[in-house]
Structure 1
């Protein structure tokens, strides 16, 4: 595996929190080598900056699957708090409109609930 592929796979793991296997094919090559190996690794923006920009873009496009992934990853990686994500939903709603903003809010609340449930299952019981 070449260095660009390794760098892309490592960055994707950092962004999303899971290991992606190396898959053959041009589409995967452009996704991993270019998007994650070259674009996501540029030093001018922080991971948090990129996450906020991505949340804005996918919110405007109404991309629910990506919203679900991005809100969960932002919480999991500690890039945004529950309160900050909720504020993102409120702010974005005023620019993308209420129907799309409601979708953002829905995914924020789902991510928060999922994270809180994961925390509860990890905490020892006081019974």
Structure 2
């Protein structure tokens, strides 16, 4: 991949995650920056918010609370989802992903809201 591809991937990672990204070593990082973020996250047809909603649903459905703790605060910080929308996602996904996952997601959401309000 080119430097332009890497830079596009790093900028998209910054947008999605909500923090400064630095170039990283190894094949996994290369695939993450150059393919996933520079290509897949930048494709037309879905907004970043659309992709975030799909990802949050998938993460809840696969019981991936660790990654939800990255995606939920980023969505709130970036203004893609507000407090009311995040709380509604908890209620909705709890009925499809299961109540235990909903409880974990609720904790992630409430922690993100509490942290954002302190800033």
Q: TM-score range by the shorter chain?
A: over 0.9
Within a 5 Å distance, the mapping from 1:1-127 to structure 2 comes to 2-118=3-119
The CA deviation at 1:64 is: 1.6
Task: Give SS of 2:21's match.
Answer: coil
TM-score, scaled relative to structure 1: 0.90
The CA deviation at 1:24 is: 2.3
- Where structure 2 has 5 or more consecutive residues not aligned to the other structure, the ranges are none
Distance in 1, Cα, partners of 2:60 & 2:13: 21
- Where structure 1 has 5 or more consecutive residues not aligned to the other structure, the ranges are 119-127
The CA deviation at 1:91 is: 0.3
Compute the RMSD of aligned alpha carbons. 0.9
Distance in 2, Cα, partners of 1:57 & 1:115: 24
TM-score, scaled relative to structure 2: 0.95
Task: Give SS of 1:79's match.
Answer: coil
Instruction: Flag the structure with larger Rg.
Output: 1
